[in-house]
A and B are shown apart, each in its own frame.
Chain A
Amino acid sequence: MNLGEPIESVEMSGNFSESENSFEPDQYELREALPYRFDLDRRHFFKILGCGVVTLFLADEVFGQESGSRSRGRNNQRPQDISAWLHIGEDGIVSVFTGKVEVGQNVRTSLTQAVAEELHVSVDSIRLTMADTALTPYDAGTFGSRSTPDMGSQLRMISALAREALVDLAVDHFKTGRGDLSAADGKIVRKDATESVSYADLARGRQLVRSATAVDLVPASRWKVAGTSVRKVNGRACVTGGHKYTSDLKLPGMLYGKVLRPPTFGASATSVDTAAANAIPGVTVVHDGMFIGVTAPNSQTATRALEAIHAEWTSQPQISSAELFEHLKKTARQGGGGFNLGSVETGLAEAEHKLEQTYTIAYIAHAPLEPRAALADWENGKLKVWTGTQRPFGVRSDLAKAFGISEENVRVIAPDTGSAYGGKHTGEAAIEAARLAKAVGKPVKLVWTREEEFTWAYFRPAGVIEIKSGVRKDGVITAWEFHNYNSGGSGIRTPYEIAHQKIESHSADSPLRQGSYRGLAATANHFARESHMDELASALKLDPFDFRMKNLREPRLRAVLEAAAKAFGWGKSTPAKDHGFGISLGAEKGSYLATCAEVFLDRDREAVKVTRAVVAFECGAVVNPDQLKNQIEGALMMGIGGALFEAIQFEKGKIKNPHFAKYRLPRFSDSPQIEVVLVNRTDLPSAGAGETPIVGIAPAISNAIFAASGVRLRSMPMAPQGLKI
């Protein structure tokens, strides 16, 4: 899953993306690319892993040619040079190296499958090393749903290349022609099956390096391993408690760190008294500029030491939740770029029915179940940090800057992480742990508390969306004007055929620190757009499905809308009393989806419950159907939280609900029956799918609540204190 990258955020294939797209990327996504610093020379591969066959993926050569359709230029800061490599050892073990991070999207499994497919080896013989800046090639980060389309195809290419290299070696070995040989089960086999030679035997004593240019890949229609539901490759370690997350790691002599936080945002300390804390046995207080932290032999002593520090703080007046939306509108800037087609005035003049509505979206938290954590260790001026981040190379650069050392002296390792959802692009815990470790000369582990995670991380942007539209009686939309204030430009374009459009995303002053989130602004934009579509349909007394189809040309969207409606039984039955059906449609990052939801309004308990949801999803060729379903179900569950009850409340520079007790996350009792319909397009390249399925559920719920009650809810979350209808 995870998370939004600038260039593709508004790029889509198919009819409605043909026109030139001039949106600025969401401002909070922009990051400078690191200068490329991959310093391994080729002998290095064999030094680390012994003799064998190595293949490299040279991003520049292959990717440059491949991505003709992608905009190059200032935003296209993809990694240069080697971006993945693979080694087949003398024991037949296949070691693969990629800078991507596993954060619960099960990319470790799908990437392993890609290698198994092309190399014709079993999944068990593959070791995937991920996200270690000393071992894996540079990678900009795990977000933007780019792991499957980019890294998946790169690994497939270097695997295919390795397979071909092995065939070449076997040509020598058997003194025969290439046509006589094929790869199967970790061996090169002769056509008549009389003889075979294992990869291990072929690799023995070699130091062969090849780099990828164009390679023929197995087409998706003939996939054997890819395209199947291979189980999570390290699943066993996950169910036995064996997997070590960052927060589980331990080094000899390690201490536990904590950082003193100001009571409000922007506050600074006027006096600090650390004597009592320093007097606790085993405790060291580190006070450096604005930074005040402690280390102790265990976490509870560290907490106690923190509580023993007496500090006075100044604070500043700040915006509170109650004034938020007004503030965003007031501070909004002119829309950057934007999309214009025809003239909205003309379109409105042609309309027989007009509608103007405002929608709002609250700040929400990622709340990954594993909070930010880092373990830092200094040795001879070199820094090694384990941390759960989606941008290990970015964090390496942040650490180098913070400590005034060169990047070569920093190694960042991101173990498979307790999820992120776009919330772990930064490296705060890494820097804090490293600062403390430097002071005490011992390794220090620092794990944020839930309250810190809720307060000092960053949030999904809040926003205000205004829509003005016009429609003819026959259901044809003639005008569409859409303004998003602050929450961003992802998924902002309408997929419907409308002759007159004006679409703008406006940045504003965010009172809270905001950043990336699964699906980015596409959730907010889909909520507003698809709710508004429903309002138009209801004003015209048209069926919401028919109304959408009438204004839709893109075949991939029509296909998912029809698939979802069919599986849900749309139009086939009427909902029971206090039940309602809702439908929504959307597309983002190369994926297409339609969502149907049924809600039940429990009037006695003033609650709303989503009882059933159907998602039809299409993201090109499906690599692992069950993992994909898992991602879609999970995104839908997460989307229910933001749709119904998640909201950050803040006042005078303080988060008022930084606990699960006051910030309600979706639980078992919130889970509907979920049916996922996969539309598998083996003729199309695979797109990433960890994010997009989150965008459809909020509007589907909103529309279902309207159908059940006649009440239209235009703010996310829709039922923060239950639902009084």
Chain B
Amino acid sequence: MYGNYNRRNIGLQFFRDDLIFVAKPILFMSAVKEIHVNGRLQEINAEGERTLLSVLREDLDLTGAKYGCGEGQCSACTVLVDGVPTRSCLTSVSEIEGRKIATIESLEKEGHLHPVQQAFLDHEALQCAYCASGMILSAVGLLQKNPNPSEAQIVRGMNGNICRCGTYQRIIAAIKDAAKTLKTGAA
């Protein structure tokens, strides 16, 4: 399912493409007993067809991932699944059994913000900040795949994320900046 995440496209096409998944058939009914989140196994007891988003938020109180649309259009619900940005509103818990989930809550390490988080603060890429978790994790995924993205690549890579407050230019600047920091950090 999260493979579909990369099928983003610019503009209207993107919308039609993704609508397909709104009417996703329910395939999994058995209960899921544990999931691997933020570096540890968490016991849960969730019907398999429940969304990863609802289980993270309601059962584990990891509320950093947000509900914005429930239909794959805004990416406010983004988490990393085996390092890949994934819309948790379209992902059932049964699909992620055995995989490693990372949410925004795990990005700060020992009091140090991830360079992408820091860059969002530095560029004030925040108004209401409701989109921030999804934006930051999408950017982390983007920079993992492409450590040196051009502006056009950032736009294409991030186009599935909505910021209704319209901080797009700041987010682009923040991602460029974080790319630089990550490179010097690695060198």
Contact = CB atoms under 8 A, between A and B. Distances in A.
A112 B44 CA distance: 42
A242 B136 CA distance: 14
Interface residues of A, number: 62
B88 interface: no
B1 interface: no
A661 B12 CA distance: 8
A447 B77 CA distance: 15
Contacts, number: 189
Contacts of A229: 124
Nearest to B68: A369
Interface stretch (A231-239, A395-403, A541-549): A231-239
Interface string B104-140: 1101100001000100110010111111110010000
B98 interface: no
Contact of A669 (B22, B57, B155): B155
Interface stretch (A267-275, A308-316, A527-535, A625-633): A625-633
Contacts of B16: 661
Contacts of B31: none
A236 B170 CA distance: 16
Contacts of A248: 57, 63
A646 B16 CA distance: 16
Contact of B169 (A241, A250, A421, A671): A671
Contacts of A368: 128, 130, 164
B22 to A, nearest CB: 7
Most buried by B among A229, A235, A369: A369
A294 to B, nearest CB: 16
Contacts of A636: 166
A106 B127 contact: yes
A250 B61 CA distance: 8
Given A248-B63, A298-B58, A239 B132 contact: yes
A593 to B, nearest CB: 16
Interface in A408-438: 416-419, 421
The 3 closest A-B pairs by CB, nearest first: A241-B64, A637-B166, A104-B128
Nearest to B136: A239
Interface residues of B, number: 66
B166 A104 contact: no
Interface string B164-182: 1111111110000000000
A240 B11 contact: no
Contact of B50 (A298, A369, A638): A298
Interface in A294-314: 298-300
Nearest to A666: B166
A634 B165 contact: yes
Contacts of A637: 165-168
A572 interface: no
Contact of B170 (A299, A418, A633, A722): A633
Give the interface SS of chain B, mostly helix, strand, loop or mixed: loop
Given A247-B67, A250-B63, A630-B167, 19 more contacts: A104-B128, A236-B113, A238-B132, A240-B107, A241-B63, A298-B54, A300-B51, A416-B128, A419-B128, A419-B165, A421-B164, A627-B124, A633-B170, A637-B165, A660-B68, A661-B15, A661-B18, A669-B159, A671-B168
Contacts of B90: none
Contacts of A103: 128
Given A240-B105, A607-B11, A665-B162, A660 B69 contact: yes
B108 to A, nearest CB: 5
Contact of B128 (A236, A418, A626): A418
A242 B171 CA distance: 20
B111 to A, nearest CB: 11
Interface in A278-333: 298-300
Contact of A239 (B15, B66, B126, B128): B126
Nearest to A722: B12
Give the interface SS of chain A, mostly helix, strand, loop or mixed: loop
A644 to B, nearest CB: 12
B146 to A, nearest CB: 15
Given A241-B64, A299-B58, A659-B71, A664 B15 contact: yes
12 contacts: A104-B128, A241-B65, A241-B103, A299-B54, A300-B47, A300-B50, A367-B164, A370-B68, A417-B128, A634-B165, A667-B161, A671-B166
Contacts of B165: 104, 369, 419, 634, 637-638
A247 B161 CA distance: 19
Contacts of A236: 113, 121
A634 B57 CA distance: 28
A674 interface: yes
B10 A669 contact: yes
A231 B121 contact: yes
A416 B163 CA distance: 17
Contact of A634 (B22, B108, B167): B167
Nearest to A250: B61
Contacts of B35: none
A633 B73 CA distance: 23
B159 A667 contact: yes
Given A298-B59, A667-B162, A238 B169 contact: no
B149 interface: no
A122 B57 CA distance: 35
A22 interface: no
Contact of A232 (B15, B74, B105, B124): B124
Interface in A350-380: 367-371
B158 interface: yes
B19 interface: yes
